[in-house]
Amino acid sequence: MTTDDSVHEKSLTFWGFMVSGDVNKNRGGIKVKEASEVMLTVFRNRKGYSLIEISLVLALIAVLVGGAFLLYNNRVAPATWSSSKYDTFNGVFAALNTCKNDRGGTYPAAAAAGSITAADTTTVPGALSPYVGSASADISTWTYKCLSAGTSALIAIVDSGTPSADAQGMLVNKINNSGNGALNAAISSGSVVTVTITGTTCS
């Protein structure tokens, strides 16, 4: 090993770039390029994303979002809607039966279908509305009909926000498979599911 004072070139790795420096024996250190030069070299050599790469990423994101949207519309929304309406119907049906018991075993008569929450829907004003809740906004579009001396009552579950026919089909199946033979549900239109309650008397 030589011991003279000559300067030796050395290579150092700095932030992933090779920079040269002079070994200075008298100063006992390494003279490195100015930091500003190194930073300039880093930014000069850094490559940005191409337009094609950005387009591919955006396209992938669009596919993922579209898939999630379809999944929600086709599966989650119908199941959520049908379960909610079924629970609401059970509450209304229970209220209707309470009304029937309080009236000696008959449902209140209603000559024409009208809002189930309106007092004037039934022949005897207010015969049903207090039981289902006259201020219940969630069922205000539902209708009730029960002809006097008739043996069946009709409840129409009306909802303009019905997500799909699949949602209605799920609701119909829930009601028809509930184990209550007096209930028969069917799709009447894209926004209406009608439930017929048989084996009763209306007065």
Residue 53 forms part of a structural domain: no
Residues 98 and 19 in one domain: no
Interacting residues of 73 by C-beta distance below 8 A, sequence separation 6+: 163, 164
Q: Which domain holds residue 96?
A: 81-198
Report pTM: 0.67
Cross-strand pairs, 146: 110
Residues 100 and 190 in one domain: yes
Return the exposure string of 19-34: e unless at least 16 CB atoms fall within 10 Å of the residue's CB, then b: bebeeeeeeeeeeeee
**Total Cβ atoms within 10 A of residue 40:** 12
Residue 126 forms part of a structural domain: yes
Contact 178, 153 (CB under 8 A): no
The pLDDT tens digits of the residues spanning 27-67 come to 444 444 555 565 556 555 556 667 887 777 787 787 777 76
Distances in Å between the alpha carbon of 18 and those of 12, 30, 34, 39?
6, 14, 14, 13
Residue 65 forms part of a structural domain: no
The DSSP bridge pattern shows strands 143-146 and 152-158 to be antiparallel
189: Cα separation from own chain's centroid: 23
Residue 162 forms part of a structural domain: yes
Domain tally, the chain: 2
For the segment 129-145, the average pLDDT, to the nearest whole number, is 96
Min mean pLDDT across 36-40, 132-136, 156-160 is at: 36-40
